[in-house]
Amino acid sequence: MEIKVGIQYVNREVVVDTDESAASVEKSFSDAVENGSVLTLTDNRGRRVMIPGEKIAYLELGEENARKVGFGSL
């Protein structure tokens, strides 16, 4: 699932591809914003992105089971 996070006073959004469920990300987001804690997201490669909850402007969740379309070469 693709997650886009808008951060206050930053022109570009942070984009993370993750295997986490939408419900899990939504709960982490709510906790970070309500408690002023850090939102931690882990991408498909195991890298972690940490964003202070009070600096988050918005969070956009993509489709949970979106199929990727691409071209392969042999």
The DSSP annotation for 28-59 comes to HHHHHHHHT-EEEEE-TTS-EEEEEGGGEEEE
- The CATH fold of domain 2-61: SH3 type barrels. (2.30.30)
pLDDT, tens only, 29-69:
999 999 999 999 999 999 999 999 999 999 999 877 655 66
Q: Where are the domains of the chain?
A: 2-61
More confident residue, 70 or 32: 32
Rounded Cα gap, residues 33 and 36, in angstroms: 5
pLDDT at 16 over 90: yes
Rounded Cα gap, residues 49 and 32, in angstroms: 13
Rounded Cα gap, residues 44 and 38, in angstroms: 20
pLDDT at 17 over 90: yes
Cα three-residue angle 60-66-68, rounded to 5 degrees: 115
pLDDT at 19 over 60: yes
